[in-house]
Amino acid sequence: METKIFAHRGASKYAPENTMPAFELAYEMEADGIETDVQLTKDGVPILIHDETLERTTNGVGFVKDYEFHELQKLDAGAYFSSRYTGTRLISLEEFLEWVTDKPLYLNLELKNNKINYKGLEEKVLQLIRAYKVEHRTIISSFNSESVKKMRELDANLDVAYLRSKKHEALTSYAKSLGASSLHIKHTLLNQQVLYSSEVMNMPIRVYTVNRSANILQCLRKKCAGIITDVPDRAVKLRHRFE
C-alpha cells in the first residue's frame, strides 16, 4: 500500500496552521489527508488549534477553554504567520467537516487532551464525525492513553492511533493493549524494531513531522502507512519517484 501523505496542521509551512488557508492549500497540493488539532471551548465546541493557549498563533490571551466559541471567532489567527493572512479566523471542527465532506481527503483529528483533560471531547468528536459520515476516512489520535482507550470503548471500528514522541520498550504491544489500531510516532522513533513489530501486530505506522526530503524518502522506502508533514507538496513530488 502506498504511503499516505497528511498535511500537518494543513500545509503549515506555507499558511497559518490549522486554518482554512492551510487546509485549502493542502488540498490543492494533493495531500491525501489533513492532520489537525482539536481543543474544547468553554461552551463545549471542538475547535481547531494546536496550543491550549492563544498567544502563539492568535492575538488573544489565555486558555482556549476559558472562552466561548463566539469570542474565539473574533480573534485573528493569521497575522502571526504573515500580514498577508491578517483576518484569518479560527474554525470549529464542524466547519472543517462541512468543508471536507465533498472532498476525497483522509482526516487525522488529534485530540489535544494530553495537558488538559477536556471532559466529553471524545464523545463530541465522535458525534460530529458520525453526523458528517466521515468515520471510514478518519483517524483519531492522541498522546493520552486513557483517551485512546475511551475512544476504542466508544467505537469498536474507528481507526484510533496512539501518538508517541518518547521511547517505549514495547511500544507496539503497549499501543495494542490500549485498543489502538495504529501508531503515530515521532520520526526519531522510526527504526527496524518498531517497523517489524508493527507489521507482525498489524498496526499501521504513520510518522510525524517529516519535512526533510531524506526523511520523507526513508518513510516511503520503509512503506510506512503515512507521513505527517508541513510540506505536502514536497512529499507528493518525492512519492512520484516510487510510482
Measured distance CA(190)–CA(208) in Å, rounded: 10
Site string for ligand G3P, 97-126 (x = CB under 6 A): -------------x----------------
- Under rule CB under 6 A, residue 208 binds ligand G3P: yes
The count of residues in the chain is: 243
Distance of CA 39 to the CA centre of its chain: 12
- Under rule CB under 6 A, residue 137 binds ligand G3P: no
Active site residue 187: no
Q: How far is the CB of 239 from ligand G3P (least distance, A)?
A: 19
Provide the residue type at 172 as one letter.
T
Question: Of 50, 168, 187, 240, which is the active-site residue?
Answer: 50
Candidate list 110, 159, 230, 233; residue touching Ca ion; CB under 5 A: 110
Burial class (CB in 10 A: 0-12, 13-18, 19+), 188: exposed
Give residue for cell 483529528.
Answer: 109
Rounded (10°) CA dihedral 58, 36, 11, 182: 150
Site string for Ca ion, 8-47 (x = CB under 5 A): -----------------------------x----------
Size of the site for ligand G3P (CB under 6 A): 11
Active site residue 136: no
Cα-based angle 192, 146, 130 (whole degrees, multiple of 5): 95
The residue ranges that bind ligand G3P (CB under 6 A) are 8, 35, 37, 50, 110, 141, 163, 184, 208-209, 228
Catalytic residues: 8, 50
